[in-house]
Amino acid sequence: MNMSFFDQFSSPYLLGIPLILPSLLLPALLLPSPNRRWVNNRLSTIQLWSIHLITKQLMNPLNKAGHKWALLLTSLILLLLSINLLGLLPYTFTPTTQLSMNMALAFPLWLATLLTGLRNQPSVSLGHLLPEGTPTPLIPALIMIETTSLLIRPLALGVRLTANLTAGHLLIQLISTATITLLPMMPSISALTALILFLLTILEVAVAMIQAYVFVLLLSLYLQENI
């Protein structure tokens, strides 16, 4: 019984072929296709307003040189947001609960920000490893600590997103199982757990949106340090 709770995190297969790639491409189908009139209905208006708001929030911490990353960061947050929210629907698979996928997103982007800083301003980028005014005996220890904190940034990005979404999905499944189990025996308790499940689902929708925003916001802050 306990093992079945984790079946939702395994990639579905069809004829021996993993369906994780189609599940990643599905959010793109929800975006409107361009035509002569971009804003031709209320849905397109809401989507364009949301994209504008997200881009504005992400670009605020960046200077003008970082605005070249606007398309990449906006596309990334829309992808994560769509996948996280679609994963809350019944009989769906959430690719962002896989640490391998999150690390595949976090590591190359973090490395790109780091290499950008080392190419454009190597002295400033390396200067982050040693705070100004550090006593001489503490210099080797602080360099090791700062280097370690720099290298675990992509791991922290991937683990944070994976852990939050995995915990939420497990809680929803546990409470929904308890609700169905208690229904024939204690209907009143089952109704209470159903209310808790409803509130938890609303919380999970918020968590899915917040985690996508935090993932990209931290990347933008790493980028700001290096430009």
Q: Tell me the C-alpha distance between 226 and 196, whole Å.
A: 44
Residue 177 in any domain: the answer is yes
* Domain annotation covers residue 12: no
Q: Is there a domain that residue 11 lies in?
A: no
Which domain does 208 fall in, by range? 17-226
* pLDDT at position 161: 92
Q: Is residue 73 part of a domain?
A: yes
Indicate whether this model's pTM tops 0.85: no
The predicted structure's pLDDT at residue 158: 92
Task: Examine residue 30 and state whether it is found in any structural domain, yes or no.
Answer: yes
Model pLDDT, residue 111: 92
Predicted pLDDT of residue 5: 65
Name residues of the chain where pLDDT drops below 50: 1-2
The pLDDT tens digits of the residues spanning 60-108 come to 777 777 788 888 888 898 889 888 888 888 777 788 888 888 999 999 9
Q: Give me the pLDDT at residue 195, please.
A: 92
pLDDT at residue number 1: 45
Helix, strand, coil % (nearest 5) of the chain? 75, 0, 20
Instruction: Give the pLDDT score at 210.
Output: 92
**Residue 105 included in any domain:** yes
Domains identified in the chain, total number = 1
For residue 159, the model assigns a pLDDT of 93
Q: Within a domain: residue 212?
A: yes
Contacts 24+ apart (CB under 8 A), 49-57: 51/78, 54/78, 54/213, 57/213, 57/217
Whether 8 is in a domain gets the answer no
- Can you tell me the distance from the alpha carbon of 138 to that of 125, in angstroms, rounded to the nearest whole number? 20
